[in-house]
Amino acid sequence: MTEHPQKIVALVDGSIYSASVCEHAAWISQRTNAPVELLHVLGRRDAPEKTDFSGAIKLGARTALLEELAQLDAQRARLINHRGRAILEDARAILDKAGVTEITTRLRQGDVVETVSDVEKDARVVMVGKRGEAADFAKGHLGSNLERIIRASTRPVFVASRAFRPISRVLVAYDGGVSAMKAVDHIARSPLFQGLHIHIVTVGTATPEVKKGLEDAKALMSAAGLAAETSVISGQPETALGKLIDDAQIDLLVMGAYGHSRIRTLIIGSTTTAMIRSCKVPIVLLR
């Protein structure tokens, strides 16, 4: 009995990044035969407010006002739900056009991170835009929900860039840490990366230990039939990696969410945060 492919969970929120999330989800689906689940979460603040505006109004007026407020609350809730469904239908249309055949949509209410935790159990990847609907113009700001999702998710998180472009060259940021080694193993095992060119890079000094780590990573790729090259570059990780992405025309960055020497309990690594902020290509983050 063949195992059903794990689904791709794609979060769409109506931001300018949502189309890119869908196009990248379609690319992954076509390469892995995985179904796509589109998820839109109505935040708690989108729920009707329960404020009592009536104060000390006389009895008849108070009753009429409360009825009117209840009607407005119900109308607002309906509009928010309609908008959520419209966002999901627009997202489905993008996937349909790209040839994805297995698509489900889910509209949920509550906290986005709690919702992702609920639905990611049988997911191969969680996909999200770099910035949400409220932060399109805050270019230096990393969305709080994005950081919370990365911190909480047990699955690979794919952070979509602003626009989709075909992916053929992949950069793996390798620091020898546990999450970096998991990233290499993940790439070697996944059909997603077959036929792509892999460049594994360490930022730092080319010590014997660093060279041995890169050789081991390359050997794992070669055993999986993947073409890989390795290099060691100097400089600050976010600056050096950013320059390499531009110079080598990299289409996708894969890195561990937590650095080799970071405290891993509560915060994602500072290099990770800086790369998400500045990087113009999509990023796959692995725990």
Residue-level pLDDT, tens digit, the chain, 287 residues: 334 468 999 999 988 899 999 999 999 999 999 999 999 999 765 555 555 555 555 667 778 888 888 899 899 989 999 999 999 999 999 999 999 999 999 999 999 999 999 999 899 999 999 876 555 444 444 567 888 888 888 899 999 999 999 999 999 999 887 778 888 999 999 999 999 999 999 998 999 999 999 999 999 999 999 989 999 999 888 889 999 999 999 999 998 876 554 434 334 566 777 788 888 899 999 87
* CA distances from residue 145 to 8, 131, 206, 284 in whole angstroms, order as listed: 19, 9, 37, 16
C-alpha–C-alpha distance, residues 198 and 227, integer Å: 6
Q: What is the CATH number of domain 7-46+81-160?
A: 3.40.50.620
Residue ranges, comma separated, of all CATH 3.40.50.620 domains in the chain are: 7-46+81-160, 169-286
State the pTM of this model.
0.85
Question: What superfamily does domain 169-286 belong to in CATH?
Answer: HUPs (3.40.50.620)
C-alpha–C-alpha distance, residues 23 and 99, integer Å: 11
CB 83 within 8 A of CB 75: no
